[in-house]
C-alpha cells in the first residue's frame, strides 16, 4: 500500500506445508487416494507477513526456523515477498511443518508440527521490537509458545503498538491480557473455544463477541467463512459479507484476511475500509492453491475488486 504511515511487525510461525489434494477427506482409520502433492511456504505468522507485504506494507517478520533446507527456503521466500527477515533466527530444531489435506471443494484438515517455532522467546521479541524504529501494527497468532505471545503483547502494548491477536490454533487467552489486545480475531471454532458458546450462525457469533468484550477485549472480529465476518468495539457492531468466490483451497484464507487488515490499518484506513479490503484479499486467496502461493499482490487484489466489488460493512444490532 502507498504512503504507509506505520510498519507491520509479525511475530509468529514459519512452516513448510506438505499438501495433498484428494476428492474427499478421509474418515478416522480410512485410506483415500490423493490426486496431487506439493510443498508450499506456510505458517500463520509467515503467511500474514507475506500477505501484508504483497499489498505494499512495510513488514518485518520475527520467528524461528531450523538448520535445514526448509528453513533456508522459507527465509528466501519471505525476502522475495519483500518481508524484512533480520529477526528470523535459526534454532537447534527442525523447521516447523504442516501436513495439509484439501478436498475437492477446498475444505482442509491441517496437522502442525511446531519444530523450531517453539524456540520463539523474549530475546527474539525484544530484538524485533528494537529493530523497528516506530510502533505500528503487531500481528500475533497461536503457533508459538503462549509465554512468548504474552510477553510480546505486554511489551508491545507498553511501547505503543496496535496489537492484533489471531488466536489460532484455539487455546485460552489469559483474562488479564484481553484488555491489552486492540483486536482479537478468531474464527467461529476458535471463538467457541474461547467463550464456551457454540456458534452456528451470525447471531451466535455476535453473542460470542459480547462475551469477549465483557472480558475486556478492545475489539472483537470473528471470521465466519462464507458469511463474512462480524466486528464489534465499544461504539459499533458491523457485519462485512464475504465475496462469493469459487473456493479451490481455503488454506491461509484467514491469514490473507488478517494480513490485509493489518496492512490497511497501518496505512491509516478505517476499520470499515480495512474489513472490506480484507474480505476481498481473502476472496482472492481461496481461488488459488497453497498458503503463500495464494496470497495476492496489491494489483491482483485491486483487479479482483474491480471484477467482483469490495464488500461493504453494515451496522447490525449489537
Report pTM.
0.93
- Residues labelled as active-site residues: 255
In a domain, 25, yes or no: no
Specify the residue for cell string 482472492: 284
Q: In this structure, is residue 2 part of a structural domain?
A: no
27, part of any domain: no
Tell me if 32 is assigned to some domain: no
| Residue-by-residue DSSP string for 252-280 | THHHHHHHHHHHHHHHT--HHHHHHHHHH
Question: In this structure, is residue 269 part of a structural domain?
Answer: yes
Contact (CB, 8 A) for 148 and 175 = no
Which pLDDT does position 39 carry in this prediction? 93
Domain range for 222 = 8-15+43-96+115-315
Q: What does the alpha-carbon distance between residue 239 and residue 195 come to, in Å, rounded to a whole number?
A: 20
CATH of the domain at 67: 3.40.1190.20
Residue 24 lies in a domain: no
Q: How far apart are CA 269 and CA 50, in angstroms?
A: 19
State the average pLDDT for the chain. Answer: 95
Say which residue the cell 471470521 belongs to: 223
Whether residue 160 is contained in a domain is answered as: yes
pLDDT < 70 stretches in the chain: 1-4, 318
Each residue's pLDDT tens digit, 168-214:
999 999 999 999 999 999 999 999 999 999 999 999 999 999 999 99
Report if residue 101 sits inside a domain.
no
Q: How many domains does the chain have?
A: 1
Where do runs of H (alpha helix) occur along 172-252? 188-195, 202-214
Amino acid at each position: 500500500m502507498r504512503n504507509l504511515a506505520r510498519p507491520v511487525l509479525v511475530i509468529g510461525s514459519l512452516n513448510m506445508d506438505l499438501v495433498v489434494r484428494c476428492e474427499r477427506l478421509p474418515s478416522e482409520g480410512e485410506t483415500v487416494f490423493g490426486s496431487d502433492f506439493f510443498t508450499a511456504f506456510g505458517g500463520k505468522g509467515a503467511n500474514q507477513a507475506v500477505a501484508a507485504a504483497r499489498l505494499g506494507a512495510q513488514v518485518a517478520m520475527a520467528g524461528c526456523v531450523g538448520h535445514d533446507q526448509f528453513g533456508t527456503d522459507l527465509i528466501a521466500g519471505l525476502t522475495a515477498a519483500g518481508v524484512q527477515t533480520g529477526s528470523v533466527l535459526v534454532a537447534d530444531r527442525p523447521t516447523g511443518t504442516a501436513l495439509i489435506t484439501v478436498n475437492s471443494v477446498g475444505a482442509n484438515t491441517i496437522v502442525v508440527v511446531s519444530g523450531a517455532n517453539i524456540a520463539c522467546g523474549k530475546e527474539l521479541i525484544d530484538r524485533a521490537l528494537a529493530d523497528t524504529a516506530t510502533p505500528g501494527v503487531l500481528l500475533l497468532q497461536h503457533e508459538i509458545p503462549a509465554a512468548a505471545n504474552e510477553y510480546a503483547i505486554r511489551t508491545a502494548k507498553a511501547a505503543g503498538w496496535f496489537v492484533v491477536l489471531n488466536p489460532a490454533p484455539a487455546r485460552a487467552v489469559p483474562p488479564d491480557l484481553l484488555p491489552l489486545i486492540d483486536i482479537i480475531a478468531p474464527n467461529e471454532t476458535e471463538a467457541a473455544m474461547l467463550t464456551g458458546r457454540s456458534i452456528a450462525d451470525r447471531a451466535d457469533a455476535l453473542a460470542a463477541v459480547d462475551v469477549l468484550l465483557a472480558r475486556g477485549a478492545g475489539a472483537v472480529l470473528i471470521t465466519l467463512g462464507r458469511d463474512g465476518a462480524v466486528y464489534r468495539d465499544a461504539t459499533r457492531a458491523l457485519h462485512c459479507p464475504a465475496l462469493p468466490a469459487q473456493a479451490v483451497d481455503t488454506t491461509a484464507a484467514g491469514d490473507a484476511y488478517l494480513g490485509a487488515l493489518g496492512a490497511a490499518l497501518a496505512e491509516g484506513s478505517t476499520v470499515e475500509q480495512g474489513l472490506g479490503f480484507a474480505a476481498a484479499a481473502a476472496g482472492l486467496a481461496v481461488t488459488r492453491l497453497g498458503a503463500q502461493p495464494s496470497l495476492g499482490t496489491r494489483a491482483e487484489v485491486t483487479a479482483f475488486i474491480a471484477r467482483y466489488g469490495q464488500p461493504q460493512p453494515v451496522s447490525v444490532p449489537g
